Structure 1
Amino acid sequence: MAFERDLQPTAAIRGNLQFTHSGMVTATYFINPLGYGLRNSSDKFDVKMAHHSLISNLPNGSLLLGIQARLNTLDVLTKMVEGVDLDECEDYAAEVVESYDRIRTIMPQTRVYLLTIPVGTTSTTGVSALSRMWRGSTTTIDATGVSREELDKYTEAASEILSRVGGDFEPVPVPAALFQWLWEHYLNRGTGGESFAPTRAEVLDDVTAAVFRSAALDEGAHTDRSRRLRPSFVPVIKVVQPELDYLPSYQAMLTPHSFPYSGMRFPGGSEFLNVLDGMPEVTVDWGMRVSTKPADQVLKGNELSLRRLGEQMDQRDQEISFAQNTLASKVQMLGEYNQHFEVNGGESEVSFTTVIAVGGPTREITLDAVNSLKRRYKRFQIEMTTPAGAQVDLWSMLIPGSPRRRAFDDFAHILPSDMWAGFVPFNTSQVGDDAGPVIGVNLMSGHFEPIHFGIMEAALHDLSASFAVTGELGSGKSYFLKLMAVLVHDMGGQFLAIDRSQVGEWEHFARSIDNAVVIDLANPTVSLDPLRMFDSRVAGERTLDSILPLLDLSPTSGAGASLSNLLTPRAIAEHHIRSLVDLFRLVSTMRDQPGNADDYADLAARLGTIANRMPVLFDPKLPPLRLSAAATVVRSHGLALPTAEELVTPHLYNRLPLTKRLGTALYELVGVAAREAFLTDNGRFGLLVGDEAHHFTQTQVGSSVTSDFSRDGRKHLAAIGLASHDPATDFQGAAHNLIPNRFVFRQRDETLARNSLEWLGVDLEQASFLLSMLREETSPPVGPGRQVPEERRGEMFMRDALNRIGRGKILGPARGDRAAAITSTPSPVVGNRRKASLERQAAR
């Protein structure tokens, strides 16, 4: 039975430097894993190259660790409130408070990545001095005996190694308390008693005394007297802490026995450590100890090995047996291996030992998890073994600073560095932002980490907060748009949403927000007259952008040129044009002047066709739209709007009826009004929401609005959110190139599903299985009523601002009243009653 003092190598700690009893000094760092998930092949090859640079520059004996740990709920809530003044945003404060119980119920986890590198050794005098630092019979160590000169020397050596490795992984020195946390995590692995994952935000202690608990490691669990099995036949460790009343932890160490003879394809077939995530009831950690050998030494060793094989073949040349074939096969393999190093001059040989540590509360749970992992690895053609008699030695390999043991060499494997880099051990499926409101959970990592979407903080990080959504009817697009709108409102921002639904679902949602403004363009209570809405410096240009297409005029034609001349700032001031009614009257007057009859008669006739049909533009009694409310919903259900095909097909567009031209003009004016109001430095975040994306992306004015929000929103605290059924048709131009945050909900149509995944950035040639996953396994309707179960609603694929692609589930608001407001959809009867009520209010 092994005890703590036999396995805990630490003699002293100073910051991230660890001094061991064997005289070795190591430095340990947090590693920032690289985005992986569902990214395309070229991005994954970049991740592989970063790992190749890492392994080529690490010193021998380096230790790579991936530790599964629980996320601290308070850390998650702290990220949610980053940059938000809760005194001013009481609604969001209530949302954060309600999120506490939900996050604690989910129990999200994460994987902490660490790198330990040897940076030197202590002198004999130093070791003796360290040994004298023991205080009585305790394990408390005082590190004040280490001189500043020694510390600087080790720190400089670590910095030199990291400089060669490069900054891809952004190494950060761990706090001294990390060593104690790691030890306690190993002792309690899988029992539920593990502490929360450490945070990088902790301040490094200058001098820290670490206290390591005592524990007994019972290999074979023979202290379980009810199980009369010989220890050698039970590859499990029972970890007992005599000083505490904790339940024992049952742990098993797995290590690869063999890798596929034919090699492991990258990407998609070599990332064997990704198999470990998503194991229920147990905690799974991994560690990899690596050493490298330069190419010239490898070539010399190959020559020696080839000479020995030749001698063996000479000795057996008269022998009739399978040995000759075996030796010939070895010669061929050695030749291919040697050629690899001759062709690739920058290669090195990597000797690595991998240990996968599984811990659970009972022996049965742990061994069931071990067998499950072995079955998973069969798909990779990797044979895993749990060697009896070497469990404790392999357990100790995950401890930073642990001295070399025989088991490390017995289960080592050798590969060229570029093949080892295909393991990409430091990768993550994390998506979303570092902070911001929690919009959902990550389904791809298996740890259910919260997905943060810092829509209002993106501008501070020089990123665009705009987003686009696609999916079939009923897949969750509108739900997500309303979620983002209410979060923006609760965090102190404002939003404008265009509601095309007949039942007025956005109106129903807006009623739950204090002082929300609802506008019905079919029964207007405000004016969208651009000459009244916008500043006189830009009012003429905005009017031309909307009126010329509406009147089917070219800006250089006779009537179009006349209108353009009247809407210059000078002409507006000269003729006192303050509204479209003034413009119509002026044109009618100028029609009767000699020399202008034809052009102004044409212009007056065209304006006359819309003057009486569009009170929202020509009624001077209506007040102009002012986007000062925190929530504004513009109902456009009464407008006739063209389809996407009519907008992009010239002959169909030319034949558009007047009603659809009017609808398009009003739709665009709402977007232009939002642009003028939100893309200004007023200190308030503004979100424009459009559920009919093609009206913002397929017309000249709409495309300009989309582009301005996408390009300049980050400068002015603004964003646009668009939704569509078909991204290949609707998300073109700025919507495709400049909107970084993309969400794909269920699409059962194969063509639309393919378009959606390609728009997301998925390489379907490499990951064709995602097509069926989106069509059949994303919020699938099941049962007689073809309803989506509550627990499966909101499943989606997403791409974040860093181009990471993953899979998650939208959670919705934690507050019950907010969740009810965005979930429920009014019936047509209720919607008609509301419409009648609005009409009566407008009449009064």
Structure 2
Amino acid sequence: MRIPVRHIAGNVIWTRHGTCWALWRVEGSGHAQSSRTVKERRLRALESLVKQLHGEAMLLSLCPQVDPAAVVRRMTDGVDLAVSERYAQLATRVWDQLERMELTSRVDWLAVPLTASSKKQAAGMAFDAARAEIALQLGLLPAPVSAREEERRIKQAQALAGTWPSTIALQPATEAEILWIYGHSARRGVLEPLLPEPDQGTGRSRGRGAAALGEVILAESATPATDAGEEEEAQHKGRFGRRWLQVSTEWGESYQTFLSLAEMPERFVFPGSEYLAALDEFGFPVDWVMRLKVTPGAVANAKARRQANELANQPGEYEGELSGVPSHVHEAAEDMEDFRSAVTRSKSEVEVQAMGTLCVWGTTPAEAEARAADLKTHFGENDYTFIRPIGEQERLFYGMLPGARTPKIMLSYAQVLLARDFAMAGAFAGSALGDAKGPLYGLQLSGGGTRPVLTDWSLGPRKSASASAAFIGELGGGKSVAMKSAVYGILAAGRKTDQPGSRGRAVIVDRTPQQEWVRFAKACPGTTQVITIDDQAQVSLDPLRTIRDRAQAQRRTESFLTLLLGIAPMSDQGVALSEAIEAVLAGPAPSMATLVGELQSRGKRDATSHAVARKLGSVARKDLARTIFDPTLPVVDTSKADAIVFATANLALPKEHELAADRLATLEFEKVFGRAALYLIAALCREVCFANPHEFCVAVWDECWWLTSSPEGMSLLLELVRDGRKHDAGVFAGSHDGEDIGPKESAMGQVIRGLFPRKFLFRQTDVTLAKRGLAFLDLDPNDEDLVELVTTGLSPMDVADEIRAQRAGECLHRDLYGRIGGMQVVIPADPEAEAAIHSDPALAA
């Protein structure tokens, strides 16, 4: 194998045949599952970039292997493993699991040749390249490229990139990254070199470094020497059936097969024509290259005019034939006229000759063949024809290397397009999900192979964003399991090496009769405190005793009691209540019992206070209200435990239809008290979250409609989501419907919806709920493909039990950076937590 590179400096390579190329790393947009508006915006950006290119260019997209050890290092980075024993054990189990997976990612590149400033300079470059080749043949050391030439070319590349649209994020490739491209090409599917970090250098100030990458043997149609079965099968196929390339290195043999794009549909529909973005939907990695020849519109029009003249004369060739002129002749003339009209419509329009090639690989020829067959079958159904030219696999291999000449076989399959038509292919659409480090939370569904999704739940406040997350999905869709997995990551990895005394905390409201959150919290690392709300309460939740801040105590107590007593805040009774609370808080030992006495005292001279005192006294005598009105109970201490769970299964709640204004007055006391008590508990959750800004804490409210059904609860949720960033806190809100978290028709609800940076949408078989969920993620609710994905494609139910178990936890995820993609939440590799995580009784058993 002959590497086409003789010298590398910065992001510029000098080739063996006398040309210079510059390479940039392109940041993927992650718009494959975005709204139509986002896709249109990205389409315009790509179209603008293509129009700025001149002559030859290369768009290259590769799938590097991901080292399981690197994933585990990022999982444990910053975590104090000395005091996080269970998390250290989990990291070891994750390492073992990842070793059995084909971990990949996707990285995109743009390469363009740097033109010579004159014919003399071009001749000089060709001469220098030829002289270097001759020197190598004679066993001499070739003259290096001068430092002055390096500097000039790097500046030329910088100036060229400055003319491109800023909407496409580009970074100059490093020398290490360029060397990696050639190493990856030779070792696909075996022990690949790891993609270097963008700031990782080669370790040398100046030098070549590419010679060793040529230690590769290419053999077209070769079969494994030790596999008699493969050899017999290959012989049976004959030379015409063996369309692969054996790439042999000291690390093993890779079997690669290349498919050229031979035919495309005559018309494109956008969205829907993004066939390059669709490559991430396969279960295996696919590398691809698009070599372009971009011609200005004026030049293309002159060539098209000659072709139009030839087509205009073709009907005369069919004179005298009874069948007349074939329809394709007229169609070709009409297409040519449309092309000429489009290419001259704008001075910036260009003609793009696109030459596309895909590459798949395997450890055996059969594996590579099977993957190639999957690609051909999938795209064949959509009028895209990919072929594997006989005897051309090695040339196509070189065609995917930056700096190599475009093979003639690729030129023969060139597709002539306008800039917009080419941009509709959806290049550079791939993107990662999640954060740079943090616990392993899931696996990205699209992308070929397996892509780990790490999530640092405490990252939001450090990025000046909220740490909150919303989880939406139907019963059994995986929503609650996802919330529990997130809580586990916070509790297990919360202790940081650079923050002495730090920890992760969670305060949870558990309304389930089975106390599933209680059971799960006890199975997580750290200590757990369970506070049961019933007539046998052991601690006091009196807001006048538990909330230390006087202003907050006033506010929360008023909201709680107006809900409990059914009085309007600004009514005479509401004002009387507020005045009494203020007076009690000014005293030495504020409590709800003291408040009852204060109102009774005021009631002797004020009928309004007397009426409020009677109502409050009536409530205080109920056994269910003991946890709030009994002054003998000790005040709950929420400062010590890592996880605090309020078990509220004994609290009754009104049905949704009972919350109508004309029904509230007739509700049973148990439901009135339950509604008010849950608001108070949510307020206490806020106090716990905001208590210590040096501890990251989340409030977990599953099925949160019980909170947002009242204006007071909605206001509390907004406050926690909005102000949590200042206190290193957040909220996990879960519901079947996004309207429960933030009603779209409400101004406050719109704000709440917008303040959740992380959002998860699980299966919704109901079309209406699916559309609402898509709208909650800022996706197009009328996109039929997305609706079908949410209703039938995520964790499908109409499959075998084994497959259903394998696909549990699938969802659409909007991460902290606004990227949207499919992922599958993984259950923590902790046997104790895994046994307690399921809500389904059958699975929990």
TM over 0.5: yes
Deviations 1:337-370 (A, max 9, x none): 1222343443211111111123233333333332
TM-superposed deviation, 1:238: 3.4
Deviations 1:341-400 (A, max 9, x none): 343443211111111123233333333332322111112111222222433222211111
TM-superposed deviation, 1:484: 1.5
TM-superposed deviation, 1:287: 0.8
What is the 5 A alignment of 1:247-646? 247-261=252-266, 263-272=267-276, 274-275=278-279, 277-280=281-284, 284-310=286-312, 326-428=328-430, 430-490=432-492, 491=494, 492-512=503-523, 513-522=525-534, 523-534=536-547, 535-568=549-582, 571-572=583-584, 576=588, 578-593=590-605, 596=606, 598-613=607-622, 614-628=625-639, 629-646=641-658
Q: Which amino acid in structure 2 is aligned with residue 257 of structure 1?
A: A
Alpha-carbon distance in structure 2 between the residues aligned to 1:166 and 1:468: 35
Q: Structure 1 residues 162 and 279, CA, compared in 2 at 3 Å: closer, same or farther? A: same
Q: Structure 1 residues 275 and 826, CA, compared in 2 at 3 Å: closer, same or farther? A: closer
Range moving further from structure 2, 520-529 or 402-411: 402-411
Partner of 1:839: none
Range moving further from structure 2, 491-500 or 249-258: 249-258
Partner of 1:195: 193
CA contact (8 A) 2:458 2:728 kept: yes
Q: Structure 1 residues 813 and 295, CA, compared in 2 at 3 Å: closer, same or farther? A: same
Q: Which one of the candidate residues 39, 62, 80 is aligned to 2:34?
A: 39
Range moving further from structure 2, 394-403 or 744-753: 744-753
CA contact (8 A) 2:794 2:811 kept: no
What is the 5 A alignment of 1:652-731? 652-679=663-690, 682-731=693-742
Q: Which amino acid in structure 2 is aligned with residue 213 of structure 1?
A: G
Deviations 1:120-162 (A, max 9, x none): 4566555555666679869999899333332222122212222
Alpha-carbon distance in structure 1 between the residues aligned to 2:180 and 2:430: 22
CA contact (8 A) 2:506 2:697 kept: yes
CA contact (8 A) 2:708 2:714 kept: yes
Q: Structure 1 residues 717 and 301, CA, compared in 2 at 3 Å: closer, same or farther? A: same
Q: Give the TM-score, by structure 1 length.
A: 0.88
Partner of 1:93: 88
Q: Structure 1 residues 423 and 768, CA, compared in 2 at 3 Å: closer, same or farther? A: closer
Alpha-carbon distance in structure 2 between the residues aligned to 1:164 and 1:138: 40
CA contact (8 A) 1:129 1:145 kept: no
CA contact (8 A) 2:434 2:453 kept: yes
Q: Secondary structure at the match of 2:272?
A: coil
Q: Structure 1 residues 139 and 98, CA, compared in 2 at 3 Å: closer, same or farther? A: farther
Partner of 1:110: 105
TM-superposed deviation, 1:222: 9.3
Q: Secondary structure at the match of 1:70?
A: coil
Q: Secondary structure at the match of 1:69?
A: coil
TM-superposed deviation, 1:270: 3.5
How many correspondences in the alignment?
810
Residue 236, structure 1, aligned to residue 247, structure 2: no
TM-superposed deviation, 1:11: 0.9
Alpha-carbon distance in structure 2 between the residues aligned to 1:139 and 1:739: 66
Q: Which amino acid in structure 2 is aligned with residue 675 of structure 1?
A: R
Alpha-carbon distance in structure 2 between the residues aligned to 1:574 and 1:274: 66
Q: Structure 1 residues 565 and 144, CA, compared in 2 at 3 Å: closer, same or farther? A: farther
Q: Which amino acid in structure 2 is aligned with residue 217 of structure 1?
A: L
TM-superposed deviation, 1:824: 7.9
Partner of 1:759: 776
Alpha-carbon distance in structure 1 between the residues aligned to 2:213 and 2:69: 26
Deviations 1:238-266 (A, max 9, x none): 3354xx555543333211211112x1211
Alpha-carbon distance in structure 1 between the residues aligned to 2:703 and 2:139: 66
Residue 739, structure 1, aligned to residue 756, structure 2: yes
Q: Which amino acid in structure 2 is aligned with residue 20 of structure 1?
A: T
Identity in percent: 26
Residue 778, structure 1, aligned to residue 795, structure 2: yes
Partner of 2:13: 18
Alpha-carbon distance in structure 1 between the residues aligned to 2:51 and 2:637: 62
Alpha-carbon distance in structure 1 between the residues aligned to 2:487 and 2:329: 70
Deviations 1:639-684 (A, max 9, x none): 111233333x222233322222211222111211222332356211
Q: Structure 1 residues 360 and 103, CA, compared in 2 at 3 Å: closer, same or farther? A: closer
Deviations 1:41-67 (A, max 9, x none): 111112212211221222422211111
TM-superposed deviation, 1:635: 0.6
Range moving further from structure 2, 481-490 or 245-254: 245-254
Alpha-carbon distance in structure 2 between the residues aligned to 1:659 and 1:248: 72
CA contact (8 A) 1:11 1:141 kept: no
Deviations 1:292-317 (A, max 9, x none): 12222233333333344445566776
Partner of 1:835: none
Q: Structure 1 residues 310 and 173, CA, compared in 2 at 3 Å: closer, same or farther? A: same
Partner of 2:498: none
Q: Structure 1 residues 198 and 158, CA, compared in 2 at 3 Å: closer, same or farther? A: same
Alpha-carbon distance in structure 1 between the residues aligned to 2:141 and 2:270: 48
Q: Structure 1 residues 408 and 701, CA, compared in 2 at 3 Å: closer, same or farther? A: same
Alpha-carbon distance in structure 2 between the residues aligned to 1:480 and 1:164: 45
Q: Structure 1 residues 235 and 321, CA, compared in 2 at 3 Å: closer, same or farther? A: farther
Q: Structure 1 residues 487 and 97, CA, compared in 2 at 3 Å: closer, same or farther? A: same
CA contact (8 A) 2:354 2:416 kept: yes
Q: Secondary structure at the match of 1:650?
A: coil
Deviations 1:412-433 (A, max 9, x none): 1110001111011111164333
Q: Structure 1 residues 135 and 810, CA, compared in 2 at 3 Å: closer, same or farther? A: farther
Deviations 1:88-123 (A, max 9, x none): 544433332332112222232122212212124566
Q: Structure 1 residues 446 and 651, CA, compared in 2 at 3 Å: closer, same or farther? A: farther
Partner of 2:74: 79
State the superposition RMSD in angstroms. Answer: 3.2
Partner of 1:808: 823
Range moving further from structure 2, 462-471 or 716-725: 462-471
Alpha-carbon distance in structure 1 between the residues aligned to 2:139 and 2:670: 82
Q: Structure 1 residues 789 and 366, CA, compared in 2 at 3 Å: closer, same or farther? A: closer
Q: Secondary structure at the match of 2:417?
A: strand
Range moving further from structure 2, 13-22 or 787-796: 787-796
Alpha-carbon distance in structure 1 between the residues aligned to 2:300 and 2:789: 46
Alpha-carbon distance in structure 2 between the residues aligned to 1:698 and 1:826: 28
Q: Which amino acid in structure 1 is aligned with residue 198 of structure 2?
A: R
